[in-house]
Amino acid sequence: MWKILISLSLCVVCLSCSKELDEPLTQRETSYNKAFEDYIGKPNSEQTWGDWTLKVPSSTRGLNNDTTTWTSFKTPNYPSYTETFGVIVTFGGFYDGTNTVSIPKGDYWVMTLYKNEGQYYIEPTSTRHWFYAHSKMSSISFYDQSKKKYEPIVNIDSLVLIESLDEYDGVMPQFAYYNELYSENHFEQRIIEHNGIYYVGFDFYADGFLDNHMTNIHERDYIYNDWIIMVIPADRRDQEKVYDEKRVICEDLSSNLDFDFNDLVYDVAIVDLDGRLKTRITIQAVGTTQPINLCGNEVHHLFNTSMVCINSGGKKGGIKKEPLKLYLDEVYGNIRDISVTVFYDNKIHFLGCQKGSIPQKICVSKDYKWNSEGLGIWLSYPRFKDWVSQPSIDGWMNNCKTELVYQMR
C-alpha cells in the first residue's frame, strides 16, 4: 500500500528551477560542470534534457460523452422495471406543488427514462397541426454555474456522464428543456427521489400567443411526464485517472560527483482526483545523505527518516521505503518548473536543466530504471554519452544493463 500524503503547502513554494543565465557559477558548480565534461562529454547546444511537457486536458468538469474516460467510474446501478414503472405512474399524476427535491452536487449518469406519446395541436389553422410534445422539446440541458449557462446533454437517450453537476443555487434550475416553439429554454419540471436515484420530469406547454397566432396546445396540466430523465449517482472507482506522467532524475552538487542521477528520483503526473485536475508527485528514491528539497520541502523529512539513502541500493546501503505521493493543486504543464534545491556553501542551489548547459536533472520516461548508488549513468546506459552530444538519438534508455540499476522489490 503506497503511503498517501495530501500536501497543499507545496504549491505555494514551487519556484522555477531556472538559474539565471547571467548569474556567475559558484566554485562548486564549476567543479561539477568540469567533472561532467571529463566523464561524459560536452553537451550539444540543442540538448534540452528531455521533454518536460505533460499533456493537460482543458477541464474535467461538465458533460462527458467520451466513454473511454468512464473507466474512472463504476457501472451504474439501474433501477428495476417495477421501480421505473412506478416512477412513470407517479409523474403521470397531477401535481401543482412546489419542487422540494434538489439533486446534491456530484457526478451523475443521466439518460432518458420515458417520453410521452400524447399528441397536441396548434390552432387556428384550416387543418389542425398535430405533434408529439417531445418532438418540440429538442434537448435537455444542465446548468453549469462556472459558465453561467445551460449545456445541452448530447445523446441523452443513451447513458451520459455529467461530472461535477452543480447544486441548485436557488435561482437557476439544474435542468431545462429547449422549447422549439419559443426557441428558448423552459423550466417546468418536477424532481423526485426514489432509492437513491433522482428522476426529473418535464411538463411541456406553449399556450398563449405564438408568432401572432393563438395557440391551444393545452394549457398547463401540471403533469410532468412529457419527458422523464434518470439521474443516477456515479461512484468513482478506487483509482485515479492519470492523463500523462514522466520521471525526473537528479544529481545533487555534492563533492562525490558520481553522476548516478539517483540523488532524487520522482514521477510527475497530471491526474483527475475527485473530479479535479491536480499534479501528483511520486517520490521514488533519494540517493543522497545530504538535505535535498522538493518544492521547498526536505525529502528525507517527508519520508520521516534521518539523512539516509532511500531506495537507491549500492555501497551506501540505506533503507527501503514505499514511494511517497504528494498532490499539488497547481497543474504543471511544464514540469521543469517544479523546483529541486540543495544547500551548500551557505547558498541555495537550484538543480538546473537549461538547454545546452550541464544538467543536474533530466526528464525521462516513466519506465526508466534508475541507477544503483555510486554507478555512473553511462555505465548502466552505454548510449547516454551519445545522447548528450547528439540529442536526436532515440532509444538510449532502451539499452540498459539491468544488473546495474536499482530493483524495486
Specify the pLDDT at position 268.
Answer: 97
Greatest Cα pair distance in the chain: 97
Q: What share of the chain has pLDDT > 70, as a percent?
A: 80
Specify the pLDDT at position 134.
Answer: 59
Say yes or no to pLDDT of 123 above 80: no
Identify residue 294 by its one-letter amino acid code.
Answer: L
pLDDT tens-digit map of 180-195: 877 889 999 999 999 9
DSSP state of 155: T
Helix, strand or coil for residue 46? coil
Helix, strand or coil for residue 385? helix
- Cβ-based neighbour number of residue 227 at 10 Å: 23
Q: What share of the chain has pLDDT > 90, as a percent?
A: 48
Q: Give the residue, 314 or 88, on which the prediction is more confident.
A: 88
Identify residue 190 by its one-letter amino acid code.
Answer: R
Specify the pLDDT at position 198.
Answer: 96
Identify residue 104 by its one-letter amino acid code.
Answer: P
Specify the pLDDT at position 8.
Answer: 36
Q: Give the residue, 127 or 152, on which the prediction is more confident.
A: 152
DSSP notation for 353-394: --TTS--SEEEE-TTPPPBPTT--HHHH-TTHHHHHH-TT--
Q: Which three cell numbers stand for residue 338?
A: 517544479
Specify the pLDDT at position 13.
Answer: 40
Specify the pLDDT at position 273.
Answer: 74
Specify the pLDDT at position 214.
Answer: 46
Say yes or no to pLDDT of 218 above 80: no
Mean per-residue pLDDT for 340-360?
Answer: 93
DSSP notation for 198-265: EEEEE-----EEETTEEE-S--------SEEEEEEE-PBPSSPEEEEEEEEEE----TT----S-SEE
| Average pLDDT value for the chain | 83
Specify the pLDDT at position 132.
Answer: 58
CA distance 270 to 329: 11
pLDDT tens-digit map of 258-289: 999 999 999 999 998 766 788 999 999 999 99
Highest mean pLDDT among 3-7, 66-70, 152-156: 152-156
Specify the pLDDT at position 131.
Answer: 57
pLDDT tens-digit map of 147-178: 899 999 987 888 888 888 888 888 889 999 99
CA distance 200 to 111: 10
Identify residue 78 by its one-letter amino acid code.
Answer: Y
Specify the pLDDT at position 191.
Answer: 96
Q: Give the residue, 365 or 96, on which the prediction is more confident.
A: 365
Q: Where are the domains of the chain?
A: 3-59+239-404, 74-233
pLDDT tens-digit map of 7-60: 433 433 444 444 444 567 888 999 999 999 999 999 999 999 999 999 888 654
CA atoms within 13 A of residue 402's CA, in its CB half-sphere: 4
Say yes or no to pLDDT of 118 above 70: no
Specify the pLDDT at position 369.
Answer: 95
Specify the pLDDT at position 21.
Answer: 45
